[in-house]
Amino acid sequence: MIKIERSIFGHISAFTHTLHDAGVMVDPGRLMDYCRSLELTGFDDRETFYATSKAILISRQDDIALFDRVFDTFWSGKLIPSQKRDSSDVLETEDGDPDVGDKTISVQEGTLPNESEELGRESETQGYSSEELLMKRNLATLSEAELEEALRITQQIVELIATYRSRRKISDKRGREIDFRKMLRRNVLRGRDGIELYYRNRRIKKTRLVLLCDISGSMEAYSRFTIQFMCALRHVLPQLDVAVFSTRMTVITDLLDRVGVEESLKRVSEAVPDWSGGTDIGRCIRQFNNHFDRTIAHGKTVAIILSDGWDLGESGLMRQEMQHLHRNVHKLIWLNPLLGDVEYQPVCKGMRTAMPYIDHFMPAHNLESLAALAQTLRSA
Amino acid sequence: MFTSIEHVEQKLEEQGYIADKTLATTVFLSLSLGKPIFLEGEPGVGKTEIAKAMSAILGSELIRLQCYEGLDTSTALYEWNYTKQMLELRIEEARGTDREKIGSDIFSEEYLLKRPLLQALQATGDQPPVLLIDEVDRSDEEFEAFLLEILSDFQITIPELGTIKANKTPVVVLTSNRTRELHDALKRRCLYHWIDYPTPEKEMAIVKARLPEVEDKLAVQVCRFIQQIREWDLYKRPGVAETLDWAMALMALNVTDLSPELVSETVGCVLKYKGDVETLSPDQISELVGDAKKSAAMQAVLPGHYVQK
């Protein structure tokens, strides 16, 4: 039985709500633990109270700064009355720490703008042309043979990355390791009549794939290839998710579903407003990390970024987000069309920032260069 | 077990583990609420050490499970002793036991090889054992899911034997170097603590606690030097483990005062990557050594003043 005075409980519960609204998840179980802990450690000393709150309510390092800020604001009585955020604090805040925005300071529920509102405003602020540029690309120039070649190589690659051998073992007639457990159990009653051997092998599992394609202005020359690659891959691989980005991330998986290339392109060009726009890789990856993190990217996901790495955004943000993405996926592959140029060195700012977090960095200037990708994956 | 947070701090200090308030609180609450502790931090900041310190305080067994990708039940939980089972079958056969009865009891506890998790559940000491699940970020998702089950109920089921419940709920410490993010469900069952690099005072206290025979001057110099290079953009920044290693190495060489030559000879204790060693030019070493000496001199006159940054 938890015996915390009602008035104090009110404050504690309000505090956890504030935290929750600010983005630190606090579930009811946590709240109960919190109350039980406070009974043990008391309210006499601010430092102890802080330590207790932190020990119970935090479950990831990224939340610590946010937590500290909410804690200070809340318990020093400097609460700012709840109000709708105005458009000046839409995305990054000025202080360079995008996680700790103004949204941390408000108690009442429902003060955060809802998703559609935010997205709507975002597209207003980013005035990139929404003309159907895609339609102007003459896809008829792609010969049948080229398209077939694309599909053939893509399929080879897909076979390699779509599955992986788990470190876990299952019974397998073609395995090379003896499955002692099964063997003994099946042979117990055989006595000396000979023993039947059973084998086990590493299990084959499906990888989840996510393809993030850069469609900014600098990639325009390769856009035909990009489109082909996306559609072909999606066509043969149901577990693939596709997203495109230049100044914002748009997931277009559903738009590519089981319709012809032409039809897909029409739909995509209608849905993606920032085709051939500027590039802000950091912010796009951030959007991806925040919105699709757990559903699309997880420990067994291979993320493929197709981009030239020319970035006009803030490199600090990009570093942080690349690191986050790298930690959350199984492998991060970066395909760079500029790598086909023998003179090319990854010197542009964006590429340099991303390099430490990439598992495989390889060329993608034409379909043949993808054979290199296949080779690397085979050995991985 | 412990009466207050201060009690935890004091007990840990007796074991040479200097914990800050939040960590001591986390340990106190973990023991009071019976929840596992989940520690994250850079390598070498004392994540594993705390489990050792706790087992020494409790006077109980430390059971360690090192995680890696593909870790499965046969290495984490239990395995049947196949050799023994097979021999038993042969012996029974030679004895002329009834065909129907042969092998009827080879799936009993006698033939079970207990791996760390099962050992922790079946420990018989007066005090609960300390179960250290080290570097859990190296394991795979399947193992995480499996841990969830054990950490919430502290019981496991072996198909041939039935359910085994913990004699005493073990004190569980999970550590992670954060090479990947763990699933929220697992984190939710634990009390989280991020161990940061220590402050200068704390690092000094750790060095003196772990190496009582070190001279003050050298200790200050070493700590100052390390604190300074930790600010650099290194591939692998030195942790407390490196500070202690380095201080020990210098003591073994009978050094009482740092010099630039000594630093370049022993830098392998501190920096573990060739690229990192190369960033340290002779000029910079001289500068850092000079700074460390100044700091030590200042501390000799005004104790406690080495903390200034």
Going by pLDDT thresholds of 50, 70 and 90, the confidence category of residue A133 is: very low
Q: Are residues A234 and A304 in the same domain?
A: yes
Q: Are residues A140 and A183 in the same domain?
A: no
Interface membership of B188 toward A (CB under 8 Å): yes
A243 within 8 A of A213, measured Cβ to Cβ: yes
> Would you state the pLDDT for residue B262?
92
- Least confidently predicted of A69-73, A170-174, B103-107, B163-167: B103-107
Q: Are residues A220 and A368 in the same domain?
A: yes
Burial class of residue B18 in the structure, from the number of CB atoms within 10 Å of its CB (0-12 exposed, 13-18 middle, 19+ buried)? buried
Give the span between the Cα atoms of A256 and A236, in whole angstroms: 11
Q: Are residues A171 and A211 in the same domain?
A: no
Here the CATH number for the domain that contains residue A340 is 3.40.50.410
Interface membership of B83 toward A (CB under 8 Å): no
B261 within 8 A of B236, measured Cβ to Cβ: no
Q: Which residue has the higher pLDDT, A341 or B284?
A: B284
Question: Which residues in chain A (269-308) have CB-CB distances under 8 A to chain B?
Answer: 294, 298-300
Q: Which residue of A has its CA nearest to B34?
A: A33
Is A33 part of a structural domain of the chain? Answer: yes
Q: Are residues A117 and A140 in the same domain?
A: no
Strand duo A177-178 + A199-206: pairing: antiparallel
Q: Are residues A80 and A116 in the same domain?
A: yes
Average pLDDT over residues A180-201: 74
> Would you state the pLDDT for residue B195?
93
> Would you state the pLDDT for residue B72?
83
Q: Which residue has the higher pLDDT, A332 or B27?
A: B27
> Would you state the pLDDT for residue A368?
58
Nearest to A328 among B85, B103, B180 (CB): B180
Give the span between the Cα atoms of A22 and A4, in whole angstroms: 25
Give the list of residues 6+ apart from residue A298 with CB closer than 8 angstroms, or none: A208, A328, A329, B141
Q: Are residues A215 and A290 in the same domain?
A: yes
Going by pLDDT thresholds of 50, 70 and 90, the confidence category of residue A138 is: very low
Is A1 part of a structural domain of the chain? Answer: no
Question: Which residues in chain A (152-191) have CB-CB distances under 8 A to chain B?
Answer: 166-169, 180-181, 184, 188-189, 191
Q: Are residues A19 and A99 in the same domain?
A: yes
Per-position b or e across A82-104, b if 16+ CB within 10 A of its CB: eeebeeeeeebeeeeebbbbebb
Burial class of residue B270 in the structure, from the number of CB atoms within 10 Å of its CB (0-12 exposed, 13-18 middle, 19+ buried)? buried
> Would you state the pLDDT for residue A43?
84
> Would you state the pLDDT for residue A137?
30
Q: Are residues A144 and A288 in the same domain?
A: yes
Q: Which residue has the higher pLDDT, A53 or A356?
A: A53
Q: Which residue has the higher pLDDT, A95 or A51?
A: A51
ipTM above 0.90, yes or no: no
> Which pLDDT tens digit goes with each residue over A89-128?
333 333 444 443 333 333 333 333 343 333 333 333 333 3
3-state secondary structure of B238: coil
Q: Which two tokens stand for residue A238?
A: 């149901």
Is A242 part of a structural domain of the chain? Answer: yes
CA–chain centroid gap for B166, Å, is 23
Q: Which residue has the higher pLDDT, A144 or A134?
A: A144
Q: Are residues A14 and A94 in the same domain?
A: yes
Q: Are residues A197 and A211 in the same domain?
A: no
For an interface test with B, the pick among A37, A324, A326 (most B C-beta atoms closer than 10 Å) comes out as A37
Q: Are residues A257 and A141 in the same domain?
A: yes
Cβ neighbours of A191 in B, within 8 Å = 89, 93, 99, 102
Is A94 part of a structural domain of the chain? Answer: yes
Interface membership of B180 toward A (CB under 8 Å): yes
Nearest to A300 among B102, B141, B187 (CB): B141
> Which pLDDT tens digit goes with each residue over A294-303?
667 666 788 8
Is A75 part of a structural domain of the chain? Answer: yes
Give the list of residues 6+ apart from residue B177 with CB closer than 8 angstroms, or none: B40, B41, B42, B43, B135, B137
> Would you state the pLDDT for residue A380?
53
- Least confidently predicted of A93-107, A160-174, A258-272, A330-344: A93-107
For an interface test with A, the pick among B3, B7, B25 (most A C-beta atoms closer than 10 Å) comes out as B25
> Would you state the pLDDT for residue A135?
28
Q: Residue A306 sits in which domain range?
A: 133-161+207-379
pLDDT beneath 70, residues of chain B: 304-309
On the question of pLDDT at A197 being above 50, the answer is yes
Per-position b or e across B50-86, b if 16+ CB within 10 A of its CB: bbbbbbbbbebbbbbbbbeebbbbebbbbbbbbeebb
Instruction: Note whether A166 contacts B140, CB cutoff 8 Å.
Output: yes
Give me the residues paired with residue A177 across strands.
A200
> Which pLDDT tens digit goes with each residue over B222-243?
999 999 999 887 878 899 999 9
Domains in chain B, CATH or no CATH each: 5-74+120-195 (3.40.50.300), 78-114 (no CATH), 200-299 (no CATH)
Q: Write the DSSP assignment of A259-305 as a string of letters.
A: S-HHHHHHHHHHH-TTTT----HHHHHHHHHHHHHHHH-STTEEEEE
pTM across the whole model: 0.68
Going by pLDDT thresholds of 50, 70 and 90, the confidence category of residue A358 is: confident
What's the domain count of chain A? 3
Direct distance between the N- and C-terminal alpha carbons of chain A, in angstroms, rounded to an integer? 54
Give the list of residues 6+ apart from residue A211 with CB closer than 8 angstroms, or none: A229, A230, A233, A240, A241, A242, A243, A304, A306
